[in-house]
Amino acid sequence: MHTLAAMASDAAQGLAEDAAERFLRYARIDTQSNEDSETYPSTAKQLDLLRLLREELAQLGLTDAAIDEHGYVTATIPATVAGEKPVIAFFAHVDTAREVSGANVRPRRFRYQGGEIALGDSGQVIRPEESPELSKHAGHELITTDGTTLLGADDKAGVAEIMAAAAWLVTHPEIPHGAVRIVFNPDEEVGRGVVHLPVAELGAVAAYTVDGSTAGELQSETFSGARARIRIRGRAIHPGWAKGELVNAIKLASELVSRLPRDARSPETTDGREGYVHPTLVAGDSAEVELRFIVRDFEDDLLDEHLEFLRRLADEVAATEPRSSIEVETRIQYRNMRDTLARHPEIVANLEEAIRRVGLEPRRTSIRGGTDGSVLTEMGLPTPNIFTGGHDAHSEREWICVEDMGLAAATIVELAQIWAGG
């Protein structure tokens, strides 16, 4: 079990309580994004939380708190020390994933005594053998859902922790730090979180997303990500006169999916540094079907190999029925941040020191996914990732530890001081 030395201080306890209180409020606001939308943000309901956050930042006295036409909320915590100090930024996204509903979230806060956690009458159960970190949190306060929705700790926990840290820095001007930028954005879950952000205007030398999981972890490496859309067009005709004429697009789509390997290239059969090809959506009818895939790998050449594998499958299935047409469209979503961050070792070193200062041993891990930091790093703003304390994201069994939320917020406060030389 990780040490809780930092929680002995009133500061860390206060940060935990403030972050938890904010998170409970934010979690109740539905902010699910929509991959199919052509607007930005992709859903108007994300603005409900974004506008609230702008107001809360203004209430802290941050006079430049603003929200722009894309929904980006920004604010600056002014420096408390004289002289030129590096500007750093903290990011978190407000949207939640499509896999599980984010509407009518009913978070439950309680002290965990061990064993399984039944989530209301939903039939959903959080089991220690399925969520390995759970057994380490006996005696801690946890927040879960009622089992009918996701919780939204990805990434409303990061939002709450940044807000708690901002409030602490504002109300404790004796803490030495340079200017700190805060950014909250929509649409991370659909891969468009920071695409419209004027990064240069932040003036930051480094940034940190607060969008991780287990306390003490930090990430300076993510998957590179791509998406693929395969459109299959069959040949329609009334089924009563279909012999020799009908080409059923659903059957062709089924044939393509059935050719995916069962013991490789899939998230359910890979771990560590293995990449995957993952079907996420099937939509259509017997005349036309669309298949969507996300494709992931830590190495760009292997990512390209996975995409080529999909194209070969499409060609093979198309060859079985010349009257059909199968089109494959691919797009790179983000790249691994590893190589860029390796050229700026002080950014991760400072994060490791901040984690040590809150009483944890820092542990570098690789994200089998991406963050806004992947895109920000590619845009010229190196951005590793900080833990939030949340677990089992994108599911009804999502949970988060209140004490770990305090440790994440305390890490933000420590980072601000370290970058100022404190």
SS3 content of the chain, % helix, strand, coil (to 5): 35, 25, 45
**d(Cα 372, Cα 33) in Å, to the nearest integer?**
15
**d(Cα 142, Cα 140) in Å, to the nearest integer?**
6
What the block records as the tokens of 382 is 């190196």
> Taking a C-beta distance cutoff of 8 angstroms, is the pair 262, 272 a contact?
no
Which residues fall within 8 angstroms of residue 170, CB to CB, at 6 or more apart?
60, 61, 62, 77
Exposed, middle or buried, 95 (CB in 10 Å: 0-12/13-18/19+)? buried
Q: What is the set of active-site residues?
A: 95, 188
Give the position of tokens 């951005």: 383
Q: State the CB neighbour count (10 A cutoff) for residue 319.
A: 10
Which residues fall within 8 angstroms of residue 232, CB to CB, at 6 or more apart?
249, 252, 253, 256, 284, 288, 289, 290, 291, 317, 324, 325, 326
> Taking a C-beta distance cutoff of 8 angstroms, is the pair 202, 381 a contact?
yes
**d(Cα 140, Cα 137) in Å, to the nearest integer?**
5
Nearest Cα neighbor of 16 from 387, 409, 415 is: 409
What the block records as the tokens of 265 is 């290239």
Give 184-234 as a DSSP string: EES-TTTT-TTTT--GGGG--SEEEEE---STTEEEEEE-EEEEEEEEEE-
What DSSP designation does 394 have?
Answer: T
